[in-house]
Structure 1
């Protein structure tokens, strides 16, 4: 892929009938994608039994007045590692810009800032990530695995988790009820 074809800052959607059931109706913010591979954070599924305030307590941070939000299943890789997708009004030493969609932070600093009420205005937290080696994602896209939607900020921060898959398709002008579970070959 050329630089303009990389998917950083876009939303990756699992196609209906995807071959890997772990990613059924998956919605991933593509944070890094280049010639070396890709990293996405899942925002379409919730981690059962895990809440933000409990996570703060687990890492030794006083939750203060932090809201007790749901924690997303970010992906199958390193499921104990936390990531915060957030608005660009906050940035720490290790914050990565995910243009034009958001920023990504994975340090305790962002968690402390949120707990103390000085963090980003918009944020969500996920445990784990989805990762692809060099050329792997491109191959999966050719095999009816993924669709690369636009980077719709309103999907990330203003749409309920269980509505993100359908809402992202619709934001790209596609009715997902018309999608087939398989692709053909010409």
Structure 2
């Protein structure tokens, strides 16, 4: 694959026929994709866990922050105990993967502490776990029509209600997923 065909900083949208329960009707933000594989975070699967509950588990006082009531997302099946914060702007945090000039993914506690003080990034989403693909695996799944890819839209990533993100991401491509068949077929 050429460098330009990698999907870093793209949405990966599950096709209706993708039956894997880990990815059924998901939107995944791809934070890294290269010859070694891909890594992403599912952004539309809220857990039954609020940020305040997560902070309490981490012994970080949530204070009076409105952020404490927001959901934590199931980012994927790999390392579900690991936390990730997708955020804009980048900022200076202890451990951040710089995805673009505007978006980073941080795994250090300092960003969570800043969020509860109201000093964190303007836009963010917290997830536990991630989705990973080995070399060539995502390319193969794309060739099998398991996924669509679309450019990232900050409104969908940070502001659209969770239950609307799957259809909203596909709408970026002019596609209504409700009109597509829910089974795979070959002519």
TM range (shorter): over 0.9
Are 2:5 and 1:13 aligned? no
Q: Deviations over 1:82-127 (max 9, x none)?
A: 1001111533132222237722111111111111211001111011
1:177 shift after superposition: 2.1
Q: Residue in 2 aligned with 1:110?
A: 111
* Separation of aligned partners in 1, 2:84 and 2:94: 14
Are 2:39 and 1:39 aligned? yes
Tell me the TM-score normalized by structure 2.
Answer: 0.92
* Separation of aligned partners in 1, 2:101 and 2:133: 21
* Counterparts in 2 of 1:47 and 1:126: CA distance versus 1, 3 Å: same
Number of aligned residue pairs: 185
- Show the 5 A alignment for 1:1-186: 1-48=1-48, 50-66=49-65, 67=67, 68-88=69-89, 90-99=91-100, 102-185=103-186
CA contact (8 A) 2:90 2:98 kept: no
Unmatched tracts of structure 2, length 5 or more: none
* Separation of aligned partners in 1, 2:92 and 2:154: 18
C-alpha RMSD of matched pairs (Å): 1.6
* Separation of aligned partners in 2, 1:53 and 1:9: 28
